[in-house]
Structure 1
Amino acid sequence: MQRAGSHGMARSVVVLLWAQALGLAGTQLSQLTLDPPWTPVFQTEMVMLTCRGSGMPGHTYWYINNRLWWQEGSDRIRASKDYPGSGSYQCRGPGAELSPPITLSFSNDWLILQVPAQTLLEGDRLQLRCRGWKDKHISQVQFFHERDVLKGPTLGAELYLQPLQLHHSGHYHCQAVVQYLLAGWQKSAPVMVTVQELFSVPVLRLEGPAEITEGSPLALNCSSRSSPLRPPAHLQYIFYKDRVVVGGPQGSPQLQLLAVGLSHSGNYYCEVRTETASVWKHSAPVTVTVYRVPVSGVSLVAQPPGGQVVEGDRLVLNCSVAVGTGPLSFSWHRQGSATRLAVGPRYELHAAGRQDSGRYHCSVTDGSTTADSPPLRVTVLVPVAGAAIAMARTEPSVLAGENLNLSCSVRAGTAPVNFTWLRDRQELGWGPLLSLGAVGPEHAGTYQCLATNSLGTHRVFWARSPVLTLSVVLPGQGWQHQGTATATGLSVPLLLLLAAVGWQLRRRHRAATRRSQGRDPTAPPEPEGHLPEPAAHPRVLKNKEVEDEEVLYTHVVVTKQGEGTSASRPPWGSPHPPPPWEPPVTYAVLPGPHAQPQLPSDIYENIP
């Protein structure tokens, strides 16, 4: 072993100690432990000291009373009262800095007070042990801190203090009755206990000026330095304003307030504590002052977006302010109205009506300045309803060669309204006016128009007009109801009977259809040949087709046989003409939504 007494080595030890005390050493500290972990010990006892560095290979250096005692030695040494004796022990392991000191002393008193040899930090538990010489039995043990008797949980000759605070530092001793040859009171020598900081008192700093304007961001930083004697503790940070929590507990030492108002003025401080709250410390307060600014940046937001709603829907308008002083007052206005509609930052219409359309804006004031939001156009859309077809003639029978125009209109609906024309359920044209020109047999059939309007691109509303059955009368013909079905050679009573049967079947079917669709039984019956009005819910048109009811159409035509009459040609829409020698009765059944689609859509039968 080498003993170093040079002044240069002593100066290096002093520099290392100062670096440790100031927390300047950035590398890992060596760890020095004692087994058994108590000090002082009796003169007859020996202890083992162990030094742990960073785990790198190398030599261990031992120091006693701030002087190098053993250079390039083992990481373990045995100590007794004779060698190396009492003193302050330190070590420096490979790749690490100088360890915290451990004070080891040997005693030959009747009674000693033992305390942990390791460094004590805030929040630790302090165990005090009162021992008699050669572990003689002791009784009536009392513990003292300076001159005060300690009261606390005891276990025999031991007493525990937890959690430790800085004020627990000082001199401790114990007294007890020791049983030896004669029992008597003994008092231990005082032992110095030092409790060090687990972390420093926090300091609250503002990242910016302490006087700011309303709407500006405010950043607070609570800084505290952990003790280098232990691995960094997991700390919690809490921020207060005028003793009210405004942030935390959180693991971050920073608090961000994105936009402050007048209410954010006040005294701020922060608290740092351990996860178990065994140690906590407060910073000094910092005063923050927020100044008023004029109201500006008023905006209006609608729900649904854009302020477009369907009649009867709910509309909500919200008013917000980018910057401005408080307290703020809100009011709602509509163009053309002299009185305000409501107050507060929110305006709601539970069921919007067509009269609610118009331009809206909100007004915000702080008592001295006022600002308005840009106007928002609110559109209340009325779905189309009551579509109807009109033409110049009062009868649906038109003489071939006449010019005919059909027009479609709606009873209600917000513009723009689009019109689609269907003939025999096939798309024919668009627009409110359908010009057929000079009509011919090919124009005979069922006509219907579909009126639609929409809210944006995702909601479409439609209304279907009643069906108009148009027949074309050729020159030279007798009376004709519709050129789609013919009958020859039948008596008038038989024709009337067939018509009555068809009317009765159609009447029963229409009543069953109304019951299944939940229609009002008190509503007036629809004209014969018309399709029912569509449901009031929105529907997107697909393939430009309209579903029909299962309606039985029975049309009987009586035509005189002769040259040039309709009996000599097939009915319009019929795939084949009937034989001239077979007097037929023809009826047409139009399939409804439950029938399989067929081409052509009409089914014809002959009854001899």
Structure 2
Amino acid sequence: MSRLTPIFFILLALKNTEGAVTPVVTLTPNWNNVYSGDRVTLSCSVGSVEEDKPRYYYYTWHKDDKLMYEMRKTLIITAKVADTGVYKCSVESGIYSNPVRLHVISGDYLILQAPSDIIEGDSLSLRCHNRPGSTATGVTHFYKDNELSGSTDDILHIPNVNTSMSGTYKCEKYFDFVIKDQWKSAEKYINVQELFPTPEIQSSPYSIQEGDEMTVRCHTTLNPLRGGTELHFAFYRDGRTVREFGISNTYRVRSSQLEDSGNYTCEVRTTSDTVRKMSDEIHIQIYELFSPPQIKVTPSRVIEGDEMTVRCDTRLDPLRGGTELHFAFYRDGRTVREFSISNKYRDGWTVQGYYVSDTYKVTSAKLEDSGKYTCEVRTASDTVRKDSNAFPVQIKELFTSPEIRVGPSLLVEEGKQVTLTCVTDPKGSTNLLYTFYKDSQIVQSAHRKTSYVIGKAGEENSGSYKCSVQSRDGKVIKNSTDVHILIQSPISDVRVTVDKGDFVYGKSLTLYCSVEKGTSPVFLWWHNETVVDQDAEFYQLRENGAVLYIQSLQSHHVGSYRCQVSNKLSAIKPSFAVETFQISQNPPLGESTFPKVFFE
């Protein structure tokens, strides 16, 4: 073996890494077969991952499993045939590097040089190298498995190799010899190693149920010679992406659902996307924790006042019998009972699982309880929830809302009889009870009688009346709308009086209209068949029209006056008239008087 270069001490400052470090041997130039006399450098590398604190490694070199040197990171040799062998290095961790074979050749005219290790995704360079001192002319031909790959100069470049490119490579050169020119060739088997094997996809736990956390892992192993290569992982279900490429080899579903079942694959690629591989397919089945709930209502025909029970049923997986389920109920999408475990019970166990139910009760059904009912079941952690189908419920009417009818009319003359009748359609119901109210006070308690009679109505009987109808058990009660009854006495004995006997020009005059009897009288004054209204120019109406006031008596006030009084029962037209008279020309102020006044 040739004498190696002098020993020197190398301290490689690297930062501390977790766990053992695997060293790698590299050749420079990167050919594993060389001619005798070629200069070769072997380096032992432990990676380039930077950490917080530097660390110093202790290197040892072995050739053909025999210790050569210690404390060296790099060996520099001028190759001789005796240097042929398998080289390895190690660090203090005791872990050896990959073995690298160096083949030193002396006699061949031509050798095909290749890197010591070729990994898929690499760019491969093959060198057709003739012995120093020999001369070759023309182009170099390269072959793979006896098929021409290219004609070029001494080096053939192949980018982004893959394992299918493994094979026997050969190169040819034409040599110009003194005696006889001839072609020479060299061949070499090139093995393209995997950067990483086809990934394996695995799922856990073994049996996955709804609500469980599911973990899917994509496992592969980097070739130790490319331990620092960054890989990216993607996951697919039934061919559709569930997670884009990322550095994590794990895909997690925090709360698995049935729709997460399917055929899963994973794909691994390098950052540069020069190498990518797809795993085989595995089927993941998410098992049902509990069945979709079923809803039903009893009785099948619900009438107002009946007790109605809405029941929600589901079946719980027998392996999860201790799971706590919560139930909620809805009508037309609105909550009628919040999630609760109250009233929950188990109907028993079968091989299909536990039958679990809950109920929502309406003690006395009303028409507004009609609608589409659904229920929802969820786990206590709310990781799984399911809805039932809708169940339509129509509450049958026990009897119609009552209407109160009054006879003879809502306006009644004092002393007359008034009959109030509560009318409803019983829909076949019997034993209905009727109650009558005046101004919200009971005037006739619950009874089977449908009418209430006022024998001789007085004004005190005026007011707002309504009735209610109820079932005998009192579960269903319905009220009519209010009606207003007005009891009035007719107008009688209308009288008109004045405040003085003499009528003096320029003085005031007041006429009074009164009635002896009558409810809510309405007064209307007439002067010469013309209505005197509140906005009349020469008159004032006071005390709700009962008083007609003339502030200054003038000639245009002469004429006939009458007062008409009415209410909703009658209209009586008495009158007060002033006899026609003459006014003297230029009468002394305060002396002229009107002619005599008379009443009709």
Same fold, judged at TM 0.5 (above): no
What TM-score range do you get, normalising by the shorter chain? 0.3 to 0.5
Q: TM (normalized to structure 1)?
A: 0.42
Q: Larger C-alpha radius of gyration, 1 or 2?
A: 2
Please identify which structure carries the higher helix content.
1
